[in-house]
Amino acid sequence: MVKCLWGSPFVDWVALEAINVAGGILLMWDKRGFEQVDFMAGKVSISVVLKGVADGFEWICSGVYGPTEGSIRDVLWVELDTVRSRWLLAWCLFGDFNIIRYPSERLGCSSFGLATFKFSDFIAKHSLVDLPLEGGEFTWFCNSDRPSMSKIDRVLVSTDWEDHFLDVTQRILPRVVFDHCPLLLEAGGMSRRRSPFKFENMWLKVEGFVDMVRQWWSSYHFLGPPSYILACKLKALKGDLKHWNKHVFGDVSFRKNCLMTELLDIDMKKGMEVLIQVGRDRRVVVKSDIDLLASLEEIS
């Protein structure tokens, strides 16, 4: 287990090192919302007890990377049983379990195996809720001539955790880089106020941007004291920048989200084995556009 200081004063983390290119778990949390009370690291899982800064609610956060070899798969259940015996708190487990629960969760599978029964027994033993997955049926895809796909990533929660964090939903996100789809777990909601005007660093990446701003600035003419003229010109420039960003440069987040939705739709068609060559070519283009927009968003 590795733990060290993070660059941000608001983020803390613990990690389980990967073995070659397999495994590896990273748990991160915002210290303004949660504080670490305790932790435990195993071979295929790592758990942290977090305490809410605002409400004092304590719960277990466990990250999982299940073994792929059946001979050592029971290590996962032993470790998680140990976590439960150590802390009798609300519990949230998530990650790549590398196991399905039902035949329908793997393309072409038609029968139950011993591992699936043990998985369901573990869930029943600890009274966990297997949250419904919104947005798709599979979370892992193998890109090959003979496609393989499974639902091996999931989030499990105890009933008291679900009772505390209201309106819990789990949904699938498009996979851009890896063969696993990211999962987003959301609880409740946050109200958003009108955001103030901000100068976006990504604008500087647009060819001719500085010259365009210089032309706008030179075209503004106001009468009055210097401080009043400066304020008026800044207000006019803000208006032109907002109009240009919206109608010319575009909403980067919105464009990226649209492409992510299209990418997810392409993957779902692949899951139904109806993806033709045009769809495969389009996926390459969409991924490239997402990479570009993500870069601009990061600069922003």
Judgement on whether residues 238 and 113 belong to the same structural domain of the protein: no
Q: What is the DSSP letter of 192?
A: -
Q: 44-58, 144-158, 196-210 — which is least confidently predicted?
A: 196-210
pLDDT value at position 254? 63
Question: In this structure, are residues 31 and 37 in contact, taking their beta carbons and an 8 Å threshold?
Answer: no
| Residue where one domain finishes, among candidates 157, 186, 215 | 186
Question: In this structure, are residues 140 and 35 in contact, taking their beta carbons and an 8 Å threshold?
Answer: no
Q: What is the DSSP letter of 170?
A: E
Judgement on whether residues 119 and 230 belong to the same structural domain of the protein: no
For residue 141, the surrounding DSSP H or E stretch is strand 140-142
- The reply to whether 192 falls in a domain is no
Q: How far apart are CA 6 and CA 52, in angstroms?
A: 20
pLDDT for 278 beyond 70: no
pLDDT value at position 39? 92
Judgement on whether residues 36 and 151 belong to the same structural domain of the protein: yes
Judgement on whether residues 180 and 274 belong to the same structural domain of the protein: no
- Per the structure, the count of domains in the chain is 3
pLDDT for 46 beyond 90: yes
* Interval 193-210 mean pLDDT: 75
pLDDT for 118 beyond 80: yes
**211-218 CB contacts, 8 Å cutoff, 24+ apart:** 212/244, 213/237, 213/241, 216/240
pTM of the model: 0.63
Judgement on whether residues 122 and 241 belong to the same structural domain of the protein: no
Judgement on whether residues 180 and 276 belong to the same structural domain of the protein: no
| Residue where one domain finishes, among candidates 186, 211, 230 | 186
> Could you tell me the sign of the dihedral formed by the alpha carbons of 150, 279, 298, 193, in that order?
negative
- The reply to whether 3 falls in a domain is no
Judgement on whether residues 182 and 226 belong to the same structural domain of the protein: no
Q: 17 phi and psi, to 5 degrees?
A: -65, 145
Judgement on whether residues 61 and 126 belong to the same structural domain of the protein: yes
pLDDT for 95 beyond 70: yes
Judgement on whether residues 261 and 225 belong to the same structural domain of the protein: no
Judgement on whether residues 142 and 232 belong to the same structural domain of the protein: no
- The reply to whether 6 falls in a domain is no
- The reply to whether 16 falls in a domain is yes
- The reply to whether 142 falls in a domain is yes
pLDDT for 1 beyond 50: no
- The reply to whether 121 falls in a domain is yes
How many Å from the N-terminal Cα to the C-terminal Cα in the chain? 34
pLDDT value at position 195? 58
- The reply to whether 195 falls in a domain is no
Judgement on whether residues 225 and 142 belong to the same structural domain of the protein: no
- The reply to whether 149 falls in a domain is yes
For residue 52, the surrounding DSSP H or E stretch is strand 45-52
Q: Report pLDDT digits (tens) over 120-179.
A: 889 989 989 888 888 888 888 886 666 788 999 999 999 889 889 888 888 888 877 778
Residue-wise burial string across 75-88, b where 16 or more C-beta atoms lie within 10 A, e elsewhere: bbeebbeebbeebe
* Interval 64-87 mean pLDDT: 90
pLDDT value at position 222? 85
Crossing angle for the helix pair 114-125 and 74-86, to the nearest 10 degrees:
0
Which has the closest alpha carbon to 25: 76, 69, 63, 60? 63
For residue 68 the two structure tokens come to 């792929």
Q: Where in the sequence is the domain holding 272, given as residue range(s)?
A: 252-299
Judgement on whether residues 205 and 180 belong to the same structural domain of the protein: no
| Residue where one domain finishes, among candidates 234, 249, 264 | 249
